[in-house]
Structure 1
């Protein structure tokens, strides 16, 4: 299907603001093969989650997966499926994403931690390993710092909060997110899918470069399940990992993108300078290490799958051995 004329899309968005946080993919979610889907009450909202793998009593451990901003749990299917042969894996949709409630408020870091702890409580999960990407990475880090008695370990995939946002205009960013969400919700699924298959600008191409074609539909479906309320996330910010890491008492692994892949406009110094800053930050973890994964982008597992998963599996195996 051919995407609508940009001016027509803008007119439709301006004339008909999103009446509901969600549209598209009506009814029950599309559930990946072998997964189950459910909902729980957590921290005052209904949270959507997926589960796959051996029964908890037969699994090496339970791994709880927190996705990144502007995605949903199904976007982590490569990681989830790779671990499901040995681990009981729970992947949940963050507030305002996927099929989880989209309240007008509740998007501060403390809310995201409370939502995750609410999921642990509702599913009666004891000592799981927390895995988070980007926004989810900062959430699991802060959860491990605040609730070390609730988790066995934590893995952070290119977590948000490694750099200060002090120089950014968060209101401008939030306004842009609202505009983007409204435009995407005005599109059909086929139109959204076309933006992945044939991006029409350099920014879109850069983002799509990290996503394998077999996941285009998954990410497009995620776009149709966003709420404009998630614009509050950049307003509220991310916990500064320089302050969080010293409080993470459980074993920790940080998977960091290869800074050689960072686009020039957002590069902060040379790749060597950035690596040194990352390693200095990771030194503040009481029991953790940071790995720069060669060739990896922000979606570390999607862009350097074999190397990234080897690190994750080794970390989980050492936890299982009690080391």
Structure 2
């Protein structure tokens, strides 16, 4: 009875009532209190279990983060060592290569008249191979430098940069007829030296792979891709089969044979690393014999408010076979 009073039936005792109803009420209240206590204990046990799981999860996350940092540091150290080794090997190869070039040239100059024709052919082949190896070493050193050099970002007008590169390419082949569509005022934040290398590789490829076109066309501009300002270099040249795009940006991977177009397979790998170091992305789309378009993103890409209409930006680099650079390149 005292327990019943404690759980709140004292007001029933102050007035006449049936005993069976009283005990029924007491039982219902007692069961209700017991169920509430059970639910409270279950909830507390669940909270303790959840807290333990959260603690274990935080502990595992910290362990994982530490391991990732350790692995990342190890990989970065390994990459630095590999780059240093590559740079050292490439640099050290220069000396014996210079000796090969020097002595083969001396042999051809001093004794060329006394050598049979096939021997002179061998010397020519030695000279050509050593020159190619020299170019390969230079490109490997440049690729290594791209990964080692510090980045000094600043606003860069890549439209002006692209125009100057195309003008230089035109000067090397003044007889070529190339239509260029240039968007003015594209500005990015990046390292001027590395961005020039990037555009030299991409525009140089566009120039090279359009060399068999009677009228080549190269476009440089920007557009929105998935809500992100994206710069592109487009040409109507040889293109490539997209089935092989997986190796496009790998070192020494070429989608065209040396008998078609000269090259070492390092330029696009260099371009890829430059874009990556700037925190951007680079990819390509192409069709065989219909040309290729290379897209890349860079931080803080913007268009000048003074950008003129596309039709007004179109000009021809070469008029009637004469290499005349347009005023826009001045």
TM-score (norm 1): 0.24
Greater relative contact order (Cα < 8 A, sep 6+): 1
**Which structure: larger Rg?**
2
